[in-house]
Amino acid sequence: MIELSAKGSNGLLAKRYASEKRFRAYGAIALALTTIFLGFLLYDIISKGWPAFFESHSSLEMKIDPDKVAAGDIANGDFAAIIKQSVREQFPDIESRADKKTLASFISQAAGDELRNMVLANPELIGQTVKVDLLLSADADLYYKGLIETDDKLLLDKFSAKLPVTQSISWRFWTNGDSREPELAGLLGAIKGSLFTVGIAIFIGLPLGVFAAIYLEQFARRNRWTDLIEVNINNLAAVPSIIFGLLGLAMFLNFFGLPRSAPLVGGLVLALLVLPTIIIASRAALRAVPPSIKEAALGVGASKQQAVFHHVLPLALPGILTGTILALARAFGETAPLLMIGMVAFIADVPQSPTDAATVLPVQIYLWSDLPELAFKSKTAAAIIVLIGILMLANALAIYMRRKFERRW
Amino acid sequence: MNQMSTARATESNTQMVGERTTRISARKVNIYYGEKHAIKDLSIEIPDRSVSAFIGPSGCGKSTFLRAINRMNDTIEGCRLTGEVRLDDKNIYDKDVDVVQLRSHVGMVFQKPNPFPKSIFENVAYGPRIHGLAKNKTDLEEMVVASLKKAGLFEEVKDRLDAPGTGLSGGQQQRLCIARAIAVNPEVILMDEPCSALDPIATARIEELIDELRQNYCIVIVTHSMQQAARVSQLTAFFHLGTLVETGDTNSMFTNPRDKRTQDYITGRFG
């Protein structure tokens, strides 16, 4: 009888199985480790950043004192003083100067500005009693969120006992530019800066890269020059990004005299940075189109250009788009080259055009992470969440595009 | 209409081989791939309105020479040709010959069916469209229908001209490719092993079609199957190691080969 069980083998079989088992175990361990690290990273960032999407408010009825606000000159009215005084009146038992000062510090300076805007919009409010929304300052906000312990605990508790504190979604985080006051600092400036920068990078990098790839892959004859160009493109893809920043500094700022800190220059630098990646991805996509399709087109008398643009390019497009989106996702997260061209300044204004000074999301993260105020810690984490969200969206788009346009042949 | 009138002449084809005019003539053709000498001193005359078959073992250069007839080799880098290939009386390797123009006269069907990943209609309409053959939309539709009919595919696909060409069966795809090739009114159709990826039934259908098309076109077919060469062709050329060993009337070649190598090959001793 033939022995078909493993016992019949000379031990080699057992060795082979053991080796396979070991290999599987290594794979499982590697996978588990990465999952744990990723999970830890996400948990850490989200748990730290989540509170930054909310802010603390209180509210108080107060009289707009005509002594402090002249009807003819509302803009220069001392609204901060009105708020300060009204809040103090709520706590007559607080007498020490230091405590009074601390009490006033619980209210953000934005509360005064908002009251001013309210009165500017409706001057009849002067002399009347109105309910005013009070944005709390970052430190008070952190305390009420339970994130810090502070020496002012007693005062804060007293404050919230008298004036109920509520949490609400912080729209300011999405609509403000950067600020020195943590409770006012927002991401809109950085998001717009990123969009301008990456938009310009796409606008320049995509056509340039795709056409270069088409030319190299379909039209150029292979010779020493094209080989040299190919080697250089592959090398460029591996050049550290900060070198591109230096190139941009030397070329766009010093030589062409373009504005410093502008998304225009950032976009140009990122276009150079993603160009090799787009070319390589596009060439791979073009090469993956079966040559029989091009031959078929040439066979019925299409010119080379017609064969490429009518048949090869449409089939390569999903691959090109996937590669491009991934390259741009990389550009979105790029920091170093932008530091070199001055996009690292503190810029409070939201940029209105690509030539305005701006910063981008990853640089904003870098800037915030460097600040001493505790509240910026969670702002930093929140900005990271936004950045990761955008990158995930970009990747999802890449997958969707590939699925949608992928055709079989 | 043309097709119908010529269909009746099919039975009496064998006698006519000798009377046909020469359509393609090659003189002292040498083809090189870089250092490799793929075709050596080849001269051949290919008659009009008949099927000529190129046979020979793999790597003997038959496909290379076939692709030289519509200059598809131009797309291969490092491929050079000396000598001349004449279509009617014009050397197609002359400087003033435009390959795009040439290929509209010399169509090609490839080894693997390679329809465009577009609709059946678009597959056939592409050639007439880029050459500006149709004056308007109805004209184009008529051309597509006529080509599909000539390729014997129309009845099978008339209800789904908008369906993708890649969704057809292998044999139908190959007939679609033939329809695509004849849509631009070529005089010559080159077929590079058109049945090698097909099952026997689809193969029989294509062979039938080739036999019909022969009435209007000069057809050159490369095949690995000697039975196929014997079935469809009137003239056979045997290639071996880059040289044209023997060429002649198909019937006499298979029954009475002159060269020892031809005999060895067709009797299955090598190749």
Q: What span, in angstroms and rounded, lies between the C-alpha atoms of A321 and A209?
A: 11
Same-domain pairing of A192 and A334: yes
Stated as kind and residue range, the H or E segment containing A200 is helix A188-214
Is B104 near chain A, with CB under 8 Å? yes
Same-domain pairing of A36 and A60: no
The stretch A231-237 carries a mean pLDDT of 92
Count how many domains chain A has.
3
pLDDT at A139: 86
Nearest to A184, CA basis, from A196, A172, A200, A193? A172
- Secondary structure (3-state) at A35: helix
State pLDDT tens for residues A355-369: 888 999 999 999 999
Q: What span, in angstroms and rounded, lies between the C-alpha atoms of A148 and A140?
A: 9
Task: Give long-range contacts, CB 8 A cutoff, 24+ apart: A185-189.
Answer: A185/A368, A185/A376, A185/A379, A187/A361, A187/A364, A187/A382, A187/A383, A187/A386, A188/A350, A189/A347, A189/A348, A189/A349, A189/A350, A189/A351, A189/A358, A189/A359, A189/A364
- Whether residue A146 is predicted with pLDDT greater than 60 in this model: the reply is yes
Residues 128-157 of B with CB under 8 A from A: 130-131
State the CATH number of the domain containing residue A356: 1.10.3720.10
Same-domain pairing of A244 and A387: yes
pLDDT at A154: 84
> Given strand B90-91, what is the order of strands in its sheet?
B36-47, B22-33, B79-87, B90-91
**Average pLDDT over all residues of chain A:** 89
Give residue for tokens 């990271």. Answer: A384
State pLDDT tens for residues A63-111: 888 888 877 788 888 888 888 888 888 888 888 888 888 888 888 888 8
The stretch A365-389 carries a mean pLDDT of 92
Share of residues in chain A with pLDDT > 90 (%): 42
Domain boundary among A179, A201, A235: A179
**CA distance, residue A263 to nearest chain B CA (Å):** 41
CA A400-A404-A405 angle, 5° bins: 120
The stretch A295-315 carries a mean pLDDT of 91
pLDDT at A112: 86
Longest dimension (CA), chain B: 57
Q: What span, in angstroms and rounded, lies between the C-alpha atoms of A380 and A382?
A: 5
Residue A398 in tokens: 């890449």
Q: pLDDT: is B47 or A124 the higher one? A: B47
pLDDT at B9: 38
Same-domain pairing of A105 and A21: no
- Show residues of chain A in contact with B103, CB under 8 Å: 298-301
- For residue A378, the Cα-to-chain-centroid distance in whole angstroms is 15
Domain boundary among A157, A179, A201: A179
Q: Band the pLDDT of A6: cuts 50, 70, 90.
A: low
Range(s) of the domain holding residue A305:
188-405
Q: What span, in angstroms and rounded, lies between the C-alpha atoms of B221 and B229?
A: 8
Instruction: Decide: B231 and B51 in contact? Cβ < 8 Å.
Output: no
Q: What span, in angstroms and rounded, lies between the C-alpha atoms of A86 and B230?
A: 108
Same-domain pairing of A11 and A148: no
* Polymer length in residues for chain A: 409
Nearest CA in chain A to B112: A292
- Cβ–Cβ gap B114/A310 under 8 Å: no
Residue A1 lies in a domain: no
DSSP states along A262-321: -HHHHHHHHHHHHHHHHHHHHHHHHHHS-HHHHHHHHHTT--HHHIIIIIIHHHHHHHHH
Domain spans in chain B, listed from the N-terminal domain onward: 20-115+188-266
Q: How many CB atoms lie within 10 A of CB A229?
A: 14
Domain boundary among A156, A179, A202: A179
**What residues have CB less than 8 Å from A290, skipping those under 6 apart?**
A409, B114
pLDDT at A276: 93
pTM greater than the 0.90 cutoff:
no
Pairing of strands B90-91, B79-87: antiparallel
Q: pLDDT: is B29 or A4 the higher one? A: B29
Distances (CA, A) of A143 to A87, A159, A160, A173, B180: 19, 12, 11, 19, 76
Same-domain pairing of A201 and A93: no
Same-domain pairing of A80 and A167: yes
Same-domain pairing of A326 and A208: yes
Q: Band the pLDDT of A200: cuts 50, 70, 90.
A: very high
- Find the CB nearest B72 among A298, A303, A306: A298
Same-domain pairing of A43 and A70: no
- Find the CB nearest A222 among B77, B127, B177: B77
- Secondary structure (3-state) at B231: helix
Residue A263 in tokens: 């998304």
Instruction: Give the 3-state secondary structure percentages of chain A, helix then strand then coil, rounded to 5.
Output: 70, 5, 25
State pLDDT tens for residues A247-290: 999 999 999 989 888 999 999 999 999 999 999 999 999 999 99
pLDDT at A103: 86
**CA distance, residue A243 to nearest chain B CA (Å):** 37
Residues 11-50 of B with CB under 8 A from A: none
- Cβ–Cβ gap A296/B75 under 8 Å: no
Is B115 near chain A, with CB under 8 Å? yes
pLDDT at B135: 87
Q: pLDDT: is A34 or B77 the higher one? A: A34
Identity at A74, one-letter amino acid code: I
Size of interface A-B (CB pairs under 8 A): 67
Q: Give me the interface pTM, i.e. the ipTM.
A: 0.84
Euclidean distance between the first and the last CA atom of chain A, given in angstroms as a whole number: 50
Is B126 near chain A, with CB under 8 Å? yes
The strand pairing partners of B22, in sequence order, are B47
Secondary structure of A105-126 in the HEC alphabet? Answer: HCECHHHHHHHHHHHHHCHHHC
The stretch A14-31 carries a mean pLDDT of 94
Q: DSSP letter for B119, please.
A: B
Q: What span, in angstroms and rounded, lies between the C-alpha atoms of A159 and A150?
A: 14
- For residue A199, the Cα-to-chain-centroid distance in whole angstroms is 14
**What dotted CATH number matches B20-115+188-266?**
3.40.50.300
User: Which class for B18: exposed (0-12), middle (13-18), buried (19 or more C-beta within 10 A)?
Assistant: exposed
- Show residues of chain A in contact with B97, CB under 8 Å: none
Residue A93 lies in a domain: yes
Same-domain pairing of A153 and A212: no
- Show residues of chain A in contact with B98, CB under 8 Å: none
Is B196 near chain A, with CB under 8 Å? no
**What residues have CB less than 8 Å from A209, skipping those under 6 apart?**
A274, A275, A277, A278, A279, A282, A324
Q: What span, in angstroms and rounded, lies between the C-alpha atoms of B165 and A380?
A: 54
**Run means of pLDDT, 10 residues per run, chain B, 271 residues:** 39 45 90 90 91 90 91 86 90 90 91 91 93 89 92 90 90 93 92 89 90 91 90 92 91 89 84 52
State pLDDT tens for residues B82-100: 999 999 888 999 999 998 8
Nearest CA in chain B to A304: B100
Distances (CA, A) of A171 to A183, A390, B41, B162: 11, 18, 82, 51
Residue A345 in tokens: 């300044």
Q: Band the pLDDT of A191: cuts 50, 70, 90.
A: very high
pLDDT at B270: 67
Same-domain pairing of A164 and A193: no
Instruction: Decide: A256 and A352 in contact? Cβ < 8 Å.
Output: no
pLDDT at B51: 94
pLDDT at B75: 82
Same-domain pairing of A263 and A380: yes
pLDDT at A234: 92
Q: Band the pLDDT of A22: cuts 50, 70, 90.
A: very high
Q: Ranked by mean pLDDT, which of A37-51, A336-350, B14-28 comes out on top?
A: A37-51
- Whether residue A153 is predicted with pLDDT greater than 60 in this model: the reply is yes
pLDDT at A64: 84
